[in-house]
Structure 1
Amino acid sequence: MSHLPQTARFQQHTAPSIANRIRKTLAAATAIAMMATLGACGAAKTSVSGLTHTTFMLSWAPDTNHIGVYVAKHNGYFKQAGLDVDIVAVAQAGAEQSVNNGVADFALSNLTNVSIYSLKGATLKQVLQVQRKPSAIWCSLASNTSITRPRDFDGKTFATFGSSESDAVIKQMIKTDGGKGQFDKVTVGTSTFQTLSSGKADFGGFYATWEGVQADMYGPKLNCFTEPDYGVPGNADSIGIITNEKTIKNNPKLVKAFTQATQKGYEYAYAHPDKAAQILVDEAPEANLKLAFVKRSMHVIVDGQYWGNPKDIASGKLVFGTNDTVSTQQYFDFLAGAGAYTDASDKTVSTAPKASSLVTDRFLAK
């Protein structure tokens, strides 16, 4: 559940497909080049209420990845921290670009995207990591009986938005399962589900915590495989909250206030998934989300411990929001080894970015 431009899913839901994680590679070079021409209209300032106004940008349509921010606003955590937070739709240029150029102060992203943008010249940092293990699933329709395991992707057609990152992941999974890693590709139009159902492609990427739930509840049924089971190391889905280094330098009090209020919102959502689901449905009516679906998504997240072991969080062994640079670095190294990283000139970068330089935990409540 990370990473796609604003693409409609099936039924009435909109959601991120796996493609948003990988589209960043394609968009970043153009995005960074445009940054100097855009004004910093998202800069924090004091509102008439005496609260500090700041802007949080969605990374796609509202979903359970964003739920902690909605909870923090609804439960008054932002107000208690002295903040008046606007939650705004993702800009066409993307959340990362908007944060890097100051159009928004904060956004939901993930450390893989931050690493991609860092090679194009961006100065972003992740200040709170929500998701601690990958939720990406690579699937065919269950009705497609010719695919029963990843090596069956050989010779089939991949529904892709186009990136070297996704190619590297699929090749690794196929080869780990004993295949050659050779497949055709077709560009997805509006929906990976629709592309598969139309017969234009045989397999594509989804997320277990969102689209996987949709498929289980509403169909079409999927046959899916996960990255860690087939040779892809680390965590590609290190979803979290980002800001830019300029904001950290010039307004650390703002970053601390927003980070800790958001941290509290996600902690509440993890401990009270049904109540948090109701808050998301109520606070984001434009998303037309079904309560039963959002509840199921939250329970998949909790039961799967995607945001960390609840017992470790409760005991204090794990501070919710701590950035995990070990598993993310493993994934960065994999991408670099596969030649999936490029710089602002679109030249391949063989040395992976350092995850430790792209994060900070200093603003978390310990």
Structure 2
Amino acid sequence: MRKRNQMSLLLMCVLLIVIAGCGGNKNAQATDPSNQPADKTTDVNSTEPKKLRDIKVVLDWTPNTNHTGLYVAQDQGYYEAEGLNVEIIQPGEGGADTMVASGAVPFGISYQEGVTQARTQDVPLVSIAAVIQHNTSGFAAPIERNIKSPTDFEGKTYGGWGSPVEEAVMSSIMEKEKGDVKKVKIINMGDADFFTAVKRDIDFAWIFYAWTGIEAELRKQPLDMLYVKDYAPELDYYTPVIVTNEKQIKDDPELVRAFLKATAKGYQLAIDNPEEAASILSKAVPELDKDLVLASQKWLSPRYTDDAPRWGEQKKEVWQGYTDWMLNHKLLDKKIDINQAYTNDFLAN
């Protein structure tokens, strides 16, 4: 969540890359195996194994249970079955959206918010799957702060990352409860984690419950959690999502289809067997707390698909509702074509 404060600047940098044309990308295609056409299988009489196509997928942040399906697909050979050798990487200085939009990597993890902002600046990001069906984020506070409703934000100190989205979201849910966001002290808590910050100088912060909320449970530090979607349906947006760019879709739709087919299998295993999926993630990223991974996975696994007919499904009304909300709160410079921002075309039936 904290990296979103850099979103606008990063998107402007991407826009300059995109405006400059795809000439740089063409040169990259000649040398980057991630952009090469998939190798053909060898002759049936040949003893040589099928060559795999090397590609990368970039995360939005450090590895966590939002990403489990990727690691499962990698571990279980689902990518290999589709002719792919997938490397999961963490974002560089430019961020995941920049890397995907510029063609440096074909796939990445992003947020509906980031894709929407990118589209207003003609950055060609496209969401191809929703990792989780409903927004699991909200404002959290230690129970001793006695924050039971949005009106209780008044007179309290909020620790954020300096994005205008934060105050707009807070204002939306407070207004519905007759609260006044101007009575909230908003500070930037920098790189401090939630648990450090609430011991120091803040009362509440915006978290994803599947990770920070579960960690609070394990620490036996109970929280009051106000999910934003419970107060404003238009804030029940997709976060996170898997993204690619328009050029990737145009030039190699079969790669997009193959990558999502294998990824969907990874998330399905995580849905059906969270314990096994947690073990796979812990093995791939041993520095993660195993108890946190397991508890988080058990909480999150049923929420990957929830009430959707299949994993990854995205609804137009969700994209339209959040876009309209952003426009109404002057967080977007112009309207976007919703149909260009997302697609379900590459999901398995």
Structure 2 length as normaliser, TM-score?
0.87
| The 10-residue stretch of structure 1 (326-335 or 250-259) with the greater mean CA deviation from structure 2 | 326-335
1:157–1:89 Cα change, 3 Å:
same
1:335 aligns with 2:306: no
Query: Any stretches of 5+ residues in structure 1 without a counterpart?
Result: 6-19, 313-317, 343-348
User: Over residues 135-159 of structure 1, what are the superposed CA-to-partner deviations in whole Å (9 max), with x where a residue is unaligned?
Assistant: 01202222224x3321121233221
Tell me by how many angstroms 1:224 deviates: 1.7
1:95–1:219 Cα change, 3 Å:
farther
Greater helix fraction, Structure 1 or Structure 2: 2
Query: Any stretches of 5+ residues in structure 2 without a counterpart?
Result: 40-48
Equivalence for 2:2: 4
Equivalence for 2:11: 28
Say which SS state the counterpart of residue 34 (structure 2) adopts.
Answer: coil
Tell me by how many angstroms 1:232 deviates: 4.9
Equivalence for 1:13: none
Q: Is the 8 A contact 1:127 1:243 kept in 2?
A: yes
Q: Is the 8 A contact 1:235 1:328 kept in 2?
A: no
Distance 1:232 1:338 in 2: 15
1:219–1:44 Cα change, 3 Å:
farther
Distance 2:159 2:238 in 1: 19
Q: Is the 8 A contact 1:141 1:197 kept in 2?
A: no
Equivalence for 1:271: 272
User: Over residues 199-257 of structure 1, what are the superposed CA-to-partner deviations in whole Å (9 max), with x where a residue is unaligned?
Assistant: 1x222100111111011112543222111222352423342211111011111111111
1:326 aligns with 2:317: yes
User: Over residues 159-179 of structure 1, what are the superposed CA-to-partner deviations in whole Å (9 max), with x where a residue is unaligned?
Assistant: 121122111110111111221
1:34–1:218 Cα change, 3 Å:
farther
Q: Is the 8 A contact 1:189 1:195 kept in 2?
A: no
Equivalence for 1:292: 291
Say which SS state the counterpart of residue 51 (structure 2) adopts.
Answer: coil
1:43 aligns with 2:34: yes
User: Over residues 179-215 of structure 1, what are the superposed CA-to-partner deviations in whole Å (9 max), with x where a residue is unaligned?
Assistant: 122122211221241222211x222100111111011
Q: Is the 8 A contact 1:32 1:97 kept in 2?
A: no
Tell me by how many angstroms 1:110 deviates: 2.3
Distance 2:299 2:325 in 1: 27
Structure 1 segment 14-93 matched on structure 2, within 5 A: 20=4, 23-25=6-8, 27-34=10-17, 36=20, 40=28, 41=32, 43-45=34-36, 50-93=51-94
1:364 aligns with 2:325: no
Tell me by how many angstroms 1:357 deviates: 2.1
Structure 1 length as normaliser, TM-score?
0.83
Instruction: Report the AA paired with residue 143 of structure 2.
Output: A
Tell me by how many angstroms 1:326 deviates: 1.5
Q: Is the 8 A contact 1:274 1:298 kept in 2?
A: yes
Equivalence for 1:308: 306
Aligned length in residues: 329
1:42–1:241 Cα change, 3 Å:
farther
Distance 1:213 1:101 in 2: 35
Equivalence for 2:177: 177
Cα RMSD over matched residues? 2.3
Equivalence for 1:198: 200
Equivalence for 2:163: 163
Tell me by how many angstroms 1:34 deviates: 5.0
